[in-house]
Amino acid sequence: MVSEGMDMTSFYTAAPLCSPSRAAMLSGRLPIRNGLYSDNAFGRNAYTPQDIVGGIASSEILLQELLRKGGYHTKLIGKWHLGHRAPYHPLKRGFNEWYGAPNVHFQYDGTTAPNIPVYKDQNMIGRFYEGIAINLTTGISEYTQHLGEEALEYISRRGRTGKPFFLYWNPDSTHAPSYASARFRGRSQRGTAYGDALIEVDDIVGKMLDLLVNHKLENDTLVVLTSDNGAALVSKREAGTNAPFLCGKQTTFEGGFRTPAFFWWPNKIPAGNASSQVGTQMDLFATFLDLAGLPMPRDRVYDSISLKPALMNGDLDLEKVVFFYRGNGLFAVRKGRFKMHLWTWRTPQEELKRGIDYCPNIHMDGIVSATQVNHTAEPILFDVDNDPEERYPIRPGNSPTIYETAVGYLKKVVEKHQQDLVPGKPALNYCDPAVENWAPPGCEDLDDCLPIPASKVVICDWPH
């Protein structure tokens, strides 16, 4: 994709983990605005496990809703992760079709907690580890192949209509626990199911691009490949690497937020280029609408600008601001080449004891630490263009002029952001075992409805 398209090397997610990141991309707004966060405690990452009560707010306008109104046929293939209960169902949120699961494919025992269902459109068609087999002993599952076949079928079918379509292909793989199909298992030199899964996803993406070319759709189709967070270093060898970036998923260091972003659109986006334009996944919202000739809603604040000039003409707007939130906490901000950390946090001590570490092997006193460190009085400053490793803090003592200037304007950026900010109602504060996937729609036909326990709403515990 890079040799035929563009590699955006300073591209960021909107959150260092799955659900808030995806919510932000589809809404064009930070989680703190769109509500996909928790304020049970300061600066904690929350997502949508199956006992979560909430999901993406009905007041948010999602990318696929606007595209569909604009004439696009829309399909979600794979993980949704913005709420699994009825009001949040993808077909209620702008998708014509859905094949996939609402939550991540962790294994449950089917008694104290149900396994995650896989949906085809309105109804479930099976569950992971049951009808939809995942063998964690062998690391084999054909599920990614199903998601690939669905995509190829959809591209062929919609391609033939000559009408525009929007495919959000969201494979659950390579998320832990890792698996790959039998044909790919053992293919990677690394020998892990993660490595095999990566090869499998790569193979399917290649098939999609080939199919677009075969259908002569390549000059009318923008394909974007990205990830919703940095490598999950906590999964060790069953995850990627973030080199050269600091730490990984769950953190507000570069390793948590900076992600690959490849843009492929033959004869529209110049081939074989890299761009240093700073961008975020929220910008995909404005970019896609811009390219589709559709207007942005004007009734709310967006964290989204169109990247069209950077993609098509190589025009750079390097003053773009990036906010690094961990939960409800604004931990850092980047503008231009400088990134200012107001708060830093590694992994809580109790989690470190359990072997959970988002910054393995890293030691940076007072910066990569087991307790949240408040730097608002004297922020930590990095030149992340030239020091993407966040290794050399620019201190008032060693570079007073650069420090004062950069921290000065970054503090103004933060001040303005916080003055204007109207936080969304936090959707991820409450959990309840009764809302788990006991009896999803369609379970009756499959004879797979589990008894729903009594409701017991609790404050969700988000330790990170």
Interface with its own copies (CB under 8 A): 189-191, 195, 236-237, 241, 243-244, 360-364, 368, 385-387, 389, 391-392
H or E element: which one contains 443?
A: helix 443-446
Q: Which is nearer to its own copies, 235 or 429 (CB)?
A: 235
For residue 111, the partner it binds in Ca ion, its own copies, none, with Cβ less than 5 to 8 A by kind, is none
Q: Kindly tell me the burial class for residue 302, based on how many C-beta atoms sit within 10 Å of its own C-beta (0-12, 13-18, 19 or more).
A: middle
- Check residue 18 for interaction with Ca ion (CB under 5 A): yes
Cβ of residue 228: shortest distance to Ca ion, in angstroms?
4
Number of residues that bind Ca ion (CB under 5 A): 3
Catalytic residues, which ones?
A: 18, 81
For residue 229, the partner it binds in Ca ion, its own copies, none, with Cβ less than 5 to 8 A by kind, is Ca ion
CA 348 to chain centre: 23
- Check residue 172 for interaction with Ca ion (CB under 5 A): no
Of the candidates 39, 60, 228, 238, which one interacts with Ca ion according to CB under 5 A? 228
Q: Which is nearer to its own copies, 158 or 346 (CB)?
A: 346
CA–CA distance, 388 with 312 (Å, rounded to integer): 26
Cβ of residue 364: shortest distance to its own copies, in angstroms?
5
The strand ranges marked E within 369-410 are 373-374, 380-383
Backbone angles phi, psi at 237, to 5 degrees: -70, -10
For residue 387, the partner it binds in its own copies, Ca ion, none, with Cβ less than 5 to 8 A by kind, is its own copies
* Radius of gyration, alpha carbons of the chain: 22
Q: Which is nearer to its own copies, 112 or 386 (CB)?
A: 386
Query: Which residue is it, tokens 């890299």?
Result: 274
Instruction: Single out the residue of 248, 240, 255 nearest to residue 389, CA to CA.
Output: 255
- Check residue 280 for interaction with Ca ion (CB under 5 A): no
Instruction: Single out the residue of 269, 300, 304 nearest to residue 285, CA to CA.
Output: 304
Q: Which is nearer to its own copies, 117 or 240 (CB)?
A: 240
Cβ of residue 386: shortest distance to its own copies, in angstroms?
4
For residue 228, the partner it binds in its own copies, Ca ion, none, with Cβ less than 5 to 8 A by kind, is Ca ion
* The two three-digit tokens of residue 100, written as one number: 């996939």
Q: Kindly tell me the burial class for residue 243, based on how many C-beta atoms sit within 10 Å of its own C-beta (0-12, 13-18, 19 or more).
A: exposed
- Check residue 67 for interaction with Ca ion (CB under 5 A): no
* The two three-digit tokens of residue 190, written as one number: 């690394």
Cβ of residue 105: shortest distance to Ca ion, in angstroms?
12
Q: Which is nearer to its own copies, 364 or 446 (CB)?
A: 364
Site residues (CB under 5 A) for Ca ion, limited to 298-327? none
Q: Is the link from the previous residue into 177 a cis peptide, with omega within 30 of 0? A: yes
The strand ranges marked E within 13-159 are 73-78, 97-100, 117-120, 123-127
CA–CA distance, 383 with 374 (Å, rounded to integer): 20
Cβ of residue 175: shortest distance to Ca ion, in angstroms?
6
Using CB under 5 A as the criterion, which residues of the chain lie in contact with Ca ion when the complex forms?
18, 228-229
